[in-house]
C-alpha cells in the first residue's frame, strides 16, 4: 500500500508558469523526499526535507512541509518544457536495522507546453 497521495494527479501548464504539487501522507515521518521520473527513465532525486524543517529551496524548486497536517508541497517556478515528467513524494520509515525504506505516492503527471 502507498503512504502518500499526490494532488493533482495530472497538471498541464504553459512554459513560464509555476507548478504546484501537493502530497499528503499518513504516518509520522523522519524525512520526505521528492523525485522526478521522465518517461521511460528511472527516478531522479530532487530534494529532501527533514521532519524538523518547514521549507527548503533548490534552484527553481521550493518544498514545504507541514507535519501537523501531514502534507508537503513542491513548487516549480518558471517551468520549462524539460520539466515535463511525473513527480513523486516519498516518505521514509526508519527501521531498527538502520535503514530508511521509501514509501511513494502515486505521483503527479506534469505536462509543460511550449
State the residues that interact with another protein by CB under 8 A.
2, 4, 30-31, 33, 35, 41-45, 48, 50, 88, 90, 92, 95, 97-107
Could you give the CA distance from residue 4 to residue 73 in angstroms, rounded to a whole number? 12
CB of 1 to another protein, least distance (A): 8
- Furthest C-alpha separation in the chain: 48
Contact 89, 33 (CB under 8 A): yes
Q: Which is nearer to another protein, 19 or 88 (CB)?
A: 88
Cis previous bond, 57, omega within 30: no
Q: Which is nearer to another protein, 103 or 112 (CB)?
A: 103
CB of 89 to another protein, least distance (A): 9
Could you give the CA distance from residue 67 to residue 52 in angstroms, rounded to a whole number? 8
Provide, for the chain, the percentages of residues in helix, strand and coil under a 3-state DSSP scheme, each rounded to the nearest 5.
Answer: 5, 60, 40
Q: Which is nearer to another protein, 48 or 61 (CB)?
A: 48
CB of 35 to another protein, least distance (A): 8
Q: Which is nearer to another protein, 8 or 16 (CB)?
A: 8
CB of 91 to another protein, least distance (A): 11
Amino acid at each position: 500500500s502507498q503512504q502518500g497521495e499526490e494532488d493533482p494527479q495530472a497538471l498541464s501548464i504553459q512554459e513560464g508558469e509555476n507548478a504546484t504539487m501537493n502530497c499528503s501522507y499518513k504516518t509520522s515521518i523522519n524525512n520526505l523526499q521528492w523525485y522526478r521520473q521522465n518517461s521511460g527513465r528511472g527516478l531522479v532525486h530532487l530534494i529532501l526535507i527533514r521532519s524538523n524543517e518547514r521549507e527548503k529551496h533548490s534552484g527553481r524548486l521550493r518544498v514545504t512541509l507541514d507535519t501537523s497536517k501531514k502534507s508537503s508541497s513542491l513548487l516549480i517556478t518558471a517551468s520549462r518544457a524539460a520539466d515535463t515528467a511525473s513527480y513523486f513524494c516519498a516518505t521514509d520509515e526508519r527501521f531498527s536495522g538502520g535503514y530508511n525504506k521509501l514509501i511513494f505516492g502515486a505521483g503527479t503527471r506534469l505536462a509543460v507546453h511550449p
